[in-house]
Amino acid sequence: MERYQFDAEYVRRLTAGDSATERHFTRYFGDLLTLKLRPRLRSPTLIEDAKQETFLRVLTTLRHKGGLQDPGSLGSFVNSVCNNVLFETYRSQAKLAPLPDDAPEERIAEGADAEGTLIEREEQAHVREVLGGLPEKDQQLLRWLFFDEADKDEVCRRLGIDRNYLRVLVHRAKARFREGLERHEASV
């Protein structure tokens, strides 16, 4: 796929709701997001949901929340939004996961398909392994915010930091998690 250079005019047309530009945007980034999400989310439905949520958030930000400062950074903005959607998907999947003593045989008897169960457990193990390889401070921070859904002010109090520094720590922890995820997937 040829790399596209986004400029101010493209972002202006996208923000204004130009249908040809929207089609180009969703086709261009749809293919890229599918490539990014396929190894991370094995369910075609989850992949499509993550793509649509990413598009919705990007367009909402462009149209209602002040837009984009640098039109050339549209690609990295879409990627960052997709990463956030992916984290939220992992978190919601972890909440829906069966209790550890729920044997795969029992779930199969209840009508779940064996391959889906196996893939789900592999994905959970994959995320746990990557998370376990992070520094303890990153592990704790990501667990508090994304699994326990702790209040950010409470996390700041626990760590003795202000909200601005929390944002920096979360950004760094998420970046290390993404790097670990990519390394792990490359080794599989």
> What pLDDT, on the 0 to 100 scale, is given for residue 108?
47
Q: 75 and 21, same structural domain? A: yes
> What pLDDT, on the 0 to 100 scale, is given for residue 20?
95
Asked if 72 contacts 6 with a C-beta cutoff of 8 angstroms, the reply is yes
> What pLDDT, on the 0 to 100 scale, is given for residue 54?
92
> Does the residue 23 lie in any domain?
yes
Q: Domain ends where: 48, 79, 95?
A: 95
**Which own/partner pairs from 46-54 qualify as long-range (CB within 8 Å, at least 24 positions apart)?**
46/89, 49/89, 50/82, 50/85, 50/86, 50/89, 51/82, 53/85, 54/29, 54/78, 54/81, 54/82, 54/85
**Token pair 């202000």: residue:** 162
Q: 142 and 77, same structural domain? A: no
Q: 88 and 144, same structural domain? A: no
Q: For residue 95, count CB atoms less than 10 angstroms from its CB and return exposed for 0-12, middle for 13-18, buried for 19 or more.
A: exposed
pLDDT < 50 regions, the chain: 99, 103, 107-108
Tokens coding 78: 């879409």
Per-residue pLDDT tens over the stretch 61-112: 888 867 778 888 888 889 899 999 988 888 877 655 554 555 455 544 555 5
> Does the residue 120 lie in any domain?
no
> Does the residue 76 lie in any domain?
yes
Please provide residue 53's backbone torsions phi and psi, each rounded to the nearest 5 degrees: -65, -40
Global confidence as pTM: 0.51
23: domain range? 8-95
Q: Domain ends where: 45, 80, 95?
A: 95
Number of domains observed in the structure of the chain:
2
Asked if 83 contacts 32 with a C-beta cutoff of 8 angstroms, the reply is no
